[in-house]
Amino acid sequence: MRLSLALLGLLVLLSSCFVSSSLHFSEADIDGAHNLIRNHSFDPHLIRGTESLPGWTLKIEPHNADYDKVVIDAQTSSDGGNSLKISASDKDVLIISEPFDVRRYGGYFAKISAKSDSPNPPKIQFRMITFKEQGKITNRFKEKYILNDEWQDLHLSAGFLRPGVRFGRIFVHIPPFEEGSIWLDNAGCWEVHGFRID
């Protein structure tokens, strides 16, 4: 059984055992590769009550069942017609992709577009975590970004995965902030390299 999302969210929020990858893939490497992320452009959908955002899970800490600060914005996007808008609050917001298959000897490039109109935006973290079949973490990768009012790509490279790896997820962690909003759009993760096996 895969690790429950509640426990996973808590582990991600509390863990400091992340590394920046020494690999350097780029968007040029994704040509012809399949995007592993479902609903990468945040297609319109309600995010409250019994409805959810297809392909993604939202974790709010401290937990708040009535949290209404994350919505689909059909007026703002980096590519297409929609984005995910996160308004200022005193909560940690964790946005988690559905699991996608990864290979031990694969090299991966992940990205998401983001911007903020906050006068004092938080330092957000873009992460990729890989897991064994039963949910044990094998590798963690993280990059930190300060946003501005122009769309920018948050990205990271991942590879040299440990034995037994089966699936991965991408995460965006947004700490509490006091004013304005953050927008996310155009997410993706691609297998862009296959390492030679001796």
Residue-level pLDDT at 148: 97
Distance of CA 167 to the CA centre of its chain: 14
Beta-strand pair 56-61/152-158: unpaired
- Residue 42 clears pLDDT 80, i.e. is over it: yes
Residue-level pLDDT at 45: 66
User: Which residues on neighbouring strands pair with residue 108, listed in sequence order?
Assistant: 158, 191
8 A C-beta contact, residue 165 and residue 32: no
Domain assignment of residue 56, given as a range: 5-194
Half-sphere exposure of 41 (CA within 13 A, CB side): 10
Total of domains in the chain = 1
Rounded to two decimals, the pTM is: 0.84
More confident residue, 17 or 146: 146
8 A C-beta contact, residue 192 and residue 183: no
Q: What CATH number has the domain bearing residue 34?
A: 2.60.120.260
8 A C-beta contact, residue 170 and residue 37: yes
Q: How far apart are CA 22 and CA 158, in angstroms?
A: 8
